[in-house]
Structure 1
Amino acid sequence: MGQADAARVGAALPKIDALEDVPAFTDVRPSDEQRAAFEAFCAAAETPGEMHLGCVVRLDRGFPLVVTAERMLRAEHAVGFAKQDKEKGDGLLPAVGDWVALRLAPGHDMGVIERVLPRRTVFERWRGKNRGERQVLCANVDAILVVQPLGAGEVLLGRIARSLVLAADCGAEPIVVLTKADRCSEEEREGEVARVRRLVGGGVRVVVTSSATGEGLDGVRACVPAGTCSMILGESGAGKSTLLNTLLGHDALETGAVRARDDAGRHTTVARVMVKLPGSCGVVTDAPGLRSLPLVGHERGLARAFPEIVEASRGCRFNDCTHTHEPGCSVRAAVEAGEIDELRLEVFKGLASEMRVSAQSLDPDIHL
């Protein structure tokens, strides 16, 4: 991209000095491996003095905002970036949370991303149908805050389960955050929280919140300690941006009304934004509300999210046991003995069946 093109694109993006709550370099921490990879890249670079270690803290229309130890600036991709060897970690398009090797030439206001450094974790969803494409929503994330609203009928357990599988697959900690607690009765709330706890099991934190009353906000803050990166995940209308605005103490993120007939909202988050929570808290990435979370090739995440079912299935008489009617099914025996919750098993079977169907629809050249 030439300087004139870069200036034109930059003029259409939010001004850096007008952005609030953007993390400083000290708010985000690269791993030792990422620092080592940066130093190795600099040692082989033609202009090592122009190289800077940076973190992508915002994406507007795919245009990265990068923070370094010295400054915050917009960046573009190096020429031929997409032609690099992805097997070695090169050529990966930067996502929010990525650590990058950034070149800043003297006299230039815009940096050039030369390399995306190896990721600790990556939260991504399938969006390629049968083509094998995945959309990276956040890199180097420690926890996923799975947001679902109360007071709008039954909480969508299937949506929570999908999010748990995706979080487990990437190695991040899933945390369920139930918003809008002020909109339901105490009896309704207790019932819905009990259903959610049955689904997620004892190893997943569940936080009940209300941005209107302030209930549960300290519990959310405790889930995002200093030096960590979390991502907030939920459909439009679930209260994600309202929750973040309340945690930030002002309206930094745009929110929208929900439709009365189905409590659904319109997309109000158009950029992928990383914000620093006040006090001794870490950073949170807000992404556009996602209508769907397809599961394709996430068997590892399914096994991690439902470990007791996978463990029990090893004792089944048949390798292809569906845990429904087959004789010698150890999983059904564990359910009858009270060792496995029937609700968790039903959700597990539904997700496993979906993944089997999805795998059959893939292009045969796709390798998961």
Structure 2
Amino acid sequence: MAKRGQKNQSVRKRRESRAQAITLPAIDALRDLPSFGDLRLDDAQRSAFEAFLAASENAGEMHLGFVVRLDRGYPLVVTADDAFRAEHAVSFAKQDAEKDECLLPAVGDCVAVRRAPGHDMGVIERVLPRRTSFERWRGRSRGEKQVLATNVDTILIVQALGAGDVLLDRVARSLVLANDCHTTPIVVLTKADRCSQEELERDVSRVRSLVGEKVRVIVTSSAAGEGLDEVRSCVPAGTCAMILGESGAGKSTLLNALLGHDALATGEVRERDDKGRHTTVARVMVKLPGGGTIADAPGLRSLPLVGHERGLSVTFPEIAEAAGVCRFNDCTHVHEPGCEVRALHAAGGISDERLRCYLALAQEMRASAQALDPDVVI
């Protein structure tokens, strides 16, 4: 009897959780969410949906949709006709069994979703091919990849000014991740109004020296309305960006300024270390007036690099090229003779900031690879 009572209580809790998830309002009563037409559907996704439809027993109930919000409830999906919460199909975990992986829906995913007549909720049956997938490593030797957003074209790397030295390491590792997932990185420096002119010029100079000439750097002040049009120009209609930064970096404040009203919660930062609390609790997409779509996510305290050698090479191409002709194949570019990387740096071909960040990240990735359990696939 006790077990039956516990089971009934568990069922009630699941139903209450489900009811709460269904009724949980989206951002500003759906006002800022993108519509189906705001998001780009490519040929691979359309073909995959048509193939899935041809093999489905419920083809009449199937719809193309995009996941535009993930929180503690069920994913919020928009289709050409509606927006609704959806749960996963029972067989969902088996969809990619031949690849030994399970593609759980992420924000930005294009999905095949079933909507039975008379039902408020839908059922996500399949995640369709992703153009891009922004992932980070979560965990240690037996960790896993966490997908933050998919089908994004641009990564807006947000870093706050006026908090002491700009965290070049954070910007560098964000660049590596963005380049590794085939997206365009753009550095957005916020809170410029907190800096003196001297501090501003110093920090911007250091960031530009790190990222190189090919990466766009935008200086903004949400309070003063500076740099916002330049950020908007980076997310034209029909494209999707993801905003990436720590808590307290000013991500939500920046998005509110871009939207023109307070749609996202913002929080205070601690004076002693300029860190913020997590005020963004959901992964959600917002539509910029007259522009494209931006995916927001909770601030990330860490961005460990595991298996991102390609992203490292794309971020530091001149260093990767020089490393290829070092005397020793396993050169660490620190003390070995015949090191072409150090020679290029001495000749002024590599800035101090770029070399310092490259060496630190390369060493971290070597240590991570050695610490991984041998059966972990990256």
Q: TM-score range by the shorter chain?
A: over 0.9
CA contact (8 A) 1:91 1:116 kept: no
In 2 relative to 1, CA 146–134 (structure 1 residues): closer, same or farther, beyond 3 Å?
same
TM-score normalised over the length of structure 2: 0.93
User: Given the alignment, which residue of 64, 69, 77 partners 1:58?
Assistant: 69
With structure 1 as the length reference, what TM-score do the two structures score? 0.96
Identity within the alignment, %: 71
Q: Say which SS state the counterpart of residue 303 (structure 2) adopts.
A: coil
- In the other structure, the counterpart of 2:339 is 329
Alpha-carbon shift at residue 174 of structure 1 (Å): 0.7
Give the letter for the 1:350 counterpart. A
Q: Does residue 250 of structure 2 align to residue 243 of structure 1?
A: no
1:111 aligns with 2:90: no
The aligned counterpart of 1:363 is 373
Distance in 2 between residues matched to 1:351 and 1:318, nearest whole Å:
20
Q: Per-residue deviation at 1:132?
A: 3.7
C-alpha change, 1:87 and 1:135, in structure 2 (3 Å) is farther
Match of 2:200 among 181, 189, 200: 189
Match of 2:140 among 115, 129, 134: 129
Corresponding residue of 2:7? none
Q: CA, structure 1 residues 55+33, in 2 after alignment: closer, same or farther (shift >3 Å)?
A: same
Q: Give the SS at the match of 1:288.
A: coil
Q: Deviations over 1:233-269 (max 9, x none)?
A: 1111110000000110110000001111111110000
Partner AA of 1:131 in structure 2: R
Distance 1:127 1:62 in 2: 22
**Corresponding position: 1:228 with 2:236:** no
For 1:48, give the aligned amino acid: A
Distance 1:57 1:229 in 2: 12
Cα distance between partner residues in 2 of 1:113 and 1:90 = 17
Partner amino acid, structure 2, of 1:157: L
How far residue 88 of structure 1 moved from its aligned partner, in angstroms, is: 5.3
Report the equivalent of 2:39: 28
Two-structure CA RMSD over aligned residues (Å): 1.8
For residues 307-326 of structure 1, what are the structure 2 equivalents within 5 Å? 307-326=317-336
Code of the aligned partner of 2:144:
E
Query: Which residue does 2:297 correspond to in 1?
Result: 287
Q: Which aligned segments of 4 or more residues in structure 1 are displaced greater than 4 angstroms?
A: 1-7, 86-90
Q: Which amino acid aligns with 1:346?
A: R
Partner SS for 1:10 = helix
Return 5+ residue gaps in structure 2 as ranges: 1-10
**By how many angstroms is 1:10 displaced?**
2.9
Q: In 2, Cα distance between the equivalents of 1:175 and 1:87?
A: 37
Alpha-carbon distance change, 352 to 86 in structure 1, aligned in 2, over 3 angstroms: farther
CA distance in structure 2 between the partners assigned to 1:57 and 1:15 by the alignment:
10
State the shift of 1:328 in Å. Answer: 1.1
Displacement of 1:72: 0.7
Bigger shift: residues 320-329 or 80-89: 80-89
Code of the aligned partner of 1:110: M
The farther-off stretch of 61-70 and 283-292 is 61-70
Aligned residues: 367
Following superposition, the deviation at residue 19 of structure 1 comes to 3.0
* 1:75 maps to 2:98: no
